[in-house]
Amino acid sequence: MSHELPYIAAIDEAIRLEMERDETVIYFGQNMATTENAPFRQQFGNDRVRVTPISETAEIGMAVGAALAGYRPVVELYMAEFMLVAMDQVVNEGPRFRAMSGGQVKVPLVLKAGWGFTAGWAGQHTGTLTNMFMGIPGLKVVSPSTAADAKGLMASAIRDDNPVVYFHNYLLTLDHGEVPDGEYLVPLGVADVRREGSDVTIVANAHMLNQSLKAAETLAGEGIQAEVIDPRTYAPLDVDTILESVGKTGRLVLVDSAPRHSAASNVIAGEVVERGFDLLKAPIVQVTALDATVPYSEPLEAYVIPDADRVAAAVRGVLGTAPVGA
């Protein structure tokens, strides 16, 4: 059984269910639960749900400490960029503790971080930071693209015994989707084949996934069957599913809204070239944002960030075909 929910509400549903299931799950952050009527505070009380000041270092650092002391904190960060204010805590504290203690402690926490508000939010609130965090040993990174995954990945992130950065894409906030009822877990580290195809493999996530699926529809009309894969988790990264697909299609287009030289697609390309060079019939193509701070002005924002047209063009380039009507 399932029900329809917007992406953002599916996240809330997962947090609520996990808080009902496990008393050690706590939830805090800026601007949440400021009144007694706030839904989470009403249900779980002021002990487990708290509003914090604008103090990212303390918020994330406290999550580390509460995790060391046996709790499973979820920190509401709203904007992924706010993690940059507390970079030490995200990168150099939480994920290090288990390893440095020789496995004596664990640090289960979730950093809930919205990202990619490419709707005129300009330079400081529109970044794609996946790659910045996916290479930190001990830190898991997830990024759901559908309402169902939003729920299932949040539940798994909360139950995971490690620090997890949970990215949710702001452009998908109100996208509706079918969400399974009750307990629903999507395992971390497993990619999802969103569309099957035989001619080319496209790897994309979140808003870029939607753009890629749109491109795949256009390409189908041109007789090109694209297989579209959503990694869903960036650390640990499911390279096997991508390799398997490339084994079938022989061609790979990686789509990423991060700047070209800090995109997760760089890492995927490296893995595929090293482990699957013989499978490739053509060079890998990366469709990324330009290496620039996202501009405010609407036409330039569109110029910097990839879209379905650019994905389709890249696929045609890889296959050496021309668009219909050209």
Partner 1 sequence: MTPSPLDNDRLVWMYTQMVRIREFEERVKRTFEEHPGVIRGHTHLADGVEASIVGSVANMQPGDYVLTTYRCHGYPIALGTDTKAIMAEIYGRATGICKGLGGSMHLCDPSRGFLGTSGIVGQGIPHATGAAYAAQIRGEGQVVLCFFGDGASKQGAFHESLNIAALWKLPIVYVMENNGYNVETQTHQEDANAAAGEDLSVKAKAYSMPGVTIDGGDPVAVYETVGAAMERARRGEGPTLIESKVYRLSAHGNLIAPPGVPLHYPEHEAIAVFGDREQYEAALKGDPVPQFRGRLVNDGVMTNEQAEEILKAARDEMQEAVTFGVESPFPENDEALAYVYA
Partner 2 sequence: MTADDARRLLRTMWRIRHFEERVGRLKRTDEVFGLIHLSVGQEGVAAATCLQLRDDDAVYSGHRAHGHALAKGALLPRVMAELMGRETGVCRGMGGSMHLVDVEHGFLGATGVVGGNIPMALGSALAARRLGGDTVAVVFFGDGAVQAGHFNETVNLAALWGLPLIMVCENNGFAEFTPRSAHTVVERVSDVVSPYGIVRETVDGNDVLAVWERFGAFLARARAGEGPFLLECLTVRLRGHYEGDPAAYREAIADEEWQKMDPILRLQRHALAQGWVDEDEPAAIEAEAAEEVEAAVAFGRESAFPPPELVAELVYAGSDA
Residue 120 is a binding residue for partner 2 (CB under 8 A): yes
207 is catalytic: no
C-alpha 159/C-alpha 251 separation (Å) is 36
Residue 78 is a binding residue for partner 1 (CB under 8 A): no
Write down the residue that tokens 């949040």 correspond to: 154
C-alpha 108/C-alpha 314 separation (Å) is 40
Q: Tell me which of 6, 8, 57, 243 binds partner 1, using CB under 8 A.
A: 57
C-alpha 220/C-alpha 299 separation (Å) is 28
Residue 178 is a binding residue for partner 1 (CB under 8 A): no
In this structure, what are the phi and psi dihedrals at residue 178, rounded to the nearest 5 degrees?
A: -75, 130
Q: Tell me which of 2, 42, 43, 55 binds partner 2, using CB under 8 A.
A: 55
Q: Tell me which of 2, 34, 101, 198 binds partner 2, using CB under 8 A.
A: 34
- Residue 253 in contact with residue 308, Cβ under 8 Å? no
Amino acid at 308: A
Candidates 128-136, 208-216, 228-236, 285-293; binding stretch for partner 2 (CB under 8 A): 285-293
Q: Tell me which of 100, 296, 309, 324 binds partner 2, using CB under 8 A.
A: 296
Name the residue nearer to partner 1 (CB basis): 62 or 242.
Answer: 62
Per-residue binder mask for partner 2 (CB under 8 A), 70-99, x = binder: -----------xx--x--------------
C-alpha 20/C-alpha 279 separation (Å) is 47
> Structure tokens of 134?
């996916």
DSSP 60: H
Distance of CA 250 to CAs 37, 130, 230, 233, 255, Å? 55, 26, 18, 23, 17
Shortest distance in whole angstroms from residue 98 CB to partner 1: 5
**Nearest by Cα to 200 from 212, 182, 187, 186:** 212
Shortest distance in whole angstroms from residue 99 CB to partner 2: 26
C-alpha 30/C-alpha 5 separation (Å) is 24
Q: Tell me which of 1, 37, 102, 274 binds partner 1, using CB under 8 A.
A: 102
Name the residue nearer to partner 1 (CB basis): 106 or 214.
Answer: 106
- Residue 213 in contact with residue 227, Cβ under 8 Å? no
Name the residue nearer to partner 1 (CB basis): 107 or 110.
Answer: 107
Q: Tell me which of 5, 13, 30, 49 binds partner 2, using CB under 8 A.
A: 30
Shortest distance in whole angstroms from residue 157 CB to partner 2: 25
Write down the residue that tokens 């953002």 correspond to: 8
The β-bridge partners of 235 are 141
The residue count for the chain: 326
Shortest distance in whole angstroms from residue 172 CB to partner 2: 17
Residue 36 is a binding residue for partner 1 (CB under 8 A): no
Buried-state track 124-138, b at ≥16 Cβ within 10 A, e below 16: ebbbbbbbbbbebeb
Candidates 113-121, 197-205, 208-216, 270-278; binding stretch for partner 2 (CB under 8 A): 113-121
SS3 (DSSP) at 257: strand
| Identified catalytic residue from 125, 168, 176, 207 | 125
Name the residue nearer to partner 1 (CB basis): 26 or 285.
Answer: 26
Active-site positions read 125
Residues that bind partner 1 (CB under 8 A): 26, 47-48, 50, 52-53, 55-71, 73, 88-89, 92-93, 97-108, 137-138, 140, 161-162, 236
Residues that bind partner 2 (CB under 8 A): 30-31, 34-35, 51-58, 81-82, 85, 117, 119-125, 290-293, 295-300, 303-304
